[in-house]
Structure formats: structure tokens, C-alpha cells
Amino acid sequence: MTSAEEAIEWFGGLSLFAGQVLRDAFRRPFEFTEFLRQVFEIGWRSAPLIVLSGLAVGAVLSMHTRSTLERFGAESMIPTALAFALVKETGPLVTGLLISGRVGAGIGAELGGMRVTEQIDALESLAVDSFKYLVVTRVAAAVVCLPLLTVLMNFSGLLGGFFAEAAISGASFAFYFQTAFSSLAFSDYIPPTLKTMVFGFLIGSTSSYLGYNATGGAEGVGRASTQSVVLSSIFLIVANVILVKGIFFLYPGSGS
């Protein structure tokens, strides 16, 4: 078999897998306890990473924004410009990529490990639908957690920007946040945040697919984990182009 055929077969497999996730997500019984556990794992335990990265990204973006806007004497626009940059693109994308790394690798390794040590067979032998129990819960948790983590990233970014700004110009907290939010409209904020649900779905299903179907012992698990990060990052970046295009199409005003 050629590698092109293999690639097509692999994509076919992933598409069927993702389709089954969507179907099973709405089919009883729901594995609610396991879903909550995954929200904790994927969402809550990623929070420190998101906050720290957000602070750093926001501070850096703010410094760049300042050096650009200073030339035009437009320093008062700094909070607005930073808010736009974060909310519309940087926040969702950086969150998506960070979670691809942390959660993609985690799901790939965890499910891969369970597959090669027969724990998935053991679940099935105990009359548990392993797909619903392991896969649907993880994908659903990723879909729910990504927008929330993105909001957290955006706020941390603004806060980081504020710290950077306050150090230079002594801007007040109230003034900074008021300026930042004053010109943000619904269509600026909601679509880019909600698009990260698609990122969550891509990360969750790609890494689950690789882990759930892992073969070849410990080496295979390592492979599944690495590929989960690489492929979910690539899919996310490509999907982002399409999503941004789609958002411009649906909310023409949000481009201005």
C-alpha cells in the first residue's frame, strides 16, 4: 500500500471515529461522572498553564503594541488594541495550541496505554461501552473546556498587558480595563471564543483516535502521544483559517 493510500485510509478512519463521537454523544446512557472527571483533568488542571501563559503573552503583546502606537501618539489606544488582538485571535489560538500540547499528549498516552495493556478490553469485558466511557467523555470535556480556558487566557492576557503598561505609564486598573472593553462588541467576542469548541473537538477526537487505536507496546504509546500533539496542532491551525473566514462571512462587521 502506498503512503497516499495509507493517509487516505487514516483520514477515513479518523472521520468515522469523529462521526461516532458525535452520534454517541447524544445517545443514552451518558457517562456523566466520567465526563466531570475529564472536565477537571482537561479544564481545571490546565488553568495554571493558561494563566501563566496568558500573563506572559499579554505583557509581550502590550509592549509590542506600545512601541507601534507610540509612533502615532496613540498610546491611549493600547488597551483597546491589546484586547482586540487577544480576544479575536491570539487568545483562542494560543489556548488551542497549549491544550493540544498538554491535553493531546495526555489523552494519546493515557488511552494508548490502556489499549496496549488490555485495559480497554477489560472495560468491555465488564460490560462497559469503552468508546462512550473513554472517548466521548474526553471529547465532550475538551469541547466544553476550551472556550472557558480561552476566556481565562484573554483575561490573563489583559492582566499581563496591564502590568506591563502600569510599569511604564502608571495606568490605573479601572481606566485600563474600561478602555479595553469599551469598544469590544458581541460579534468581536463571542464567535472567536466559541470557535474554540471546534478546536476542542479536533484535539479530543484526534488524540483519542490515536490513543484508542494504538498498537505496538510502549513504543506505540509514545508514538500515539507525539502524533496526537503534532496532528491536533496542525488540524487546529488549518481549521482556524477556515473558521476565521467563516466568521468574517457571517459577521462582516467584525473585520473592521
The binding site for another protein (CB under 8 A) comprises: 113-114, 117-119, 121-129
Nearer to another protein, 123 or 144 (CB): 123
One-character DSSP codes across 55-83: HHHHHHHHHHHHHHHHTTT-GGGHHHHHH
Q: How far is the CB of 145 from another protein (least distance, A)?
A: 19
Nearest 10 degrees: CA dihedral of 94, 198, 241, 179? -50
Nearer to another protein, 41 or 75 (CB): 41
Q: How far is the CB of 228 from another protein (least distance, A)?
A: 18
Q: How far is the CB of 222 from another protein (least distance, A)?
A: 17
Q: How far is CA 69 from the centre of its chain?
A: 30
Q: How far is the CB of 20 from another protein (least distance, A)?
A: 12
CA–CA gap between residue 58 and residue 112 (Å, rounded): 36
For the beta carbon of residue 46, count every other beta carbon within 10 angstroms: 22
Nearer to another protein, 113 or 160 (CB): 113
Joined together, the cell numbers standing for residue 201 give: 473537538
Beta-carbon contacts of 180 under 8 Å, excluding residues fewer than 6 positions away, are 79, 80, 82, 83, 158
Nearer to another protein, 119 or 226 (CB): 119
Nearer to another protein, 122 or 250 (CB): 122
Q: How far is the CB of 19 from another protein (least distance, A)?
A: 16
